[in-house]
Amino acid sequence: MVYVIKFSVILLIPASLIFGFSMVYPCRMVREISLMRGGKTISLQTYGPFGRTITKQLPVTNISAQWGKDKAKSVLPLKVKGKRLMYQVYPVEGRVHNPALFDATICRYRF
């Protein structure tokens, strides 16, 4: 009986790690970026767990891109000040309405 409990615990630990990762990973994938009126803040919309979306209002000065949209082959990482992990933008699949404004506001290396 002790072996059954040990085996269950050994399987429960990786299963809970995989479940936790599958809940956190979509929260870092950017669904939509919108520049708000005035040009000082952006609305960053990400996917959430169970099909929901999460919207955050952030100042433009708190967002830094590692490189520009034209140099990103598949993923454009965005660093948000105060967050550990980077957000991921897929510029190849997405549509940018004003590329010059996108490069001037969001795709800048700030920090």
pLDDT of residue 15: 96
Whole-number pLDDT of residue 73: 75
Of 45, 105, 43, 35, give the one whose Cα is nearest residue 69: 105
51: left (phi over 0), alpha (psi -120 to 50) or beta: left
Highest mean pLDDT among 50-54, 91-95, 106-110: 50-54
Report percent pLDDT > 90 for the chain. Answer: 19
Task: Give every strand in the sheet of 41-47, ordered side by side.
Answer: 30-35, 41-47, 53-59
Q: Is the pLDDT of residue 111 over 80?
A: no
- Ranges 1-5, 14-18, 88-92, most confident: 14-18
Can you tell me the mean pLDDT for 45-59?
89
Q: How confident is the model at residue 19 (pLDDT cuts 50, 70, 90)?
A: very high
- The structure's pTM equals 0.74
What's the pLDDT at 75? 84
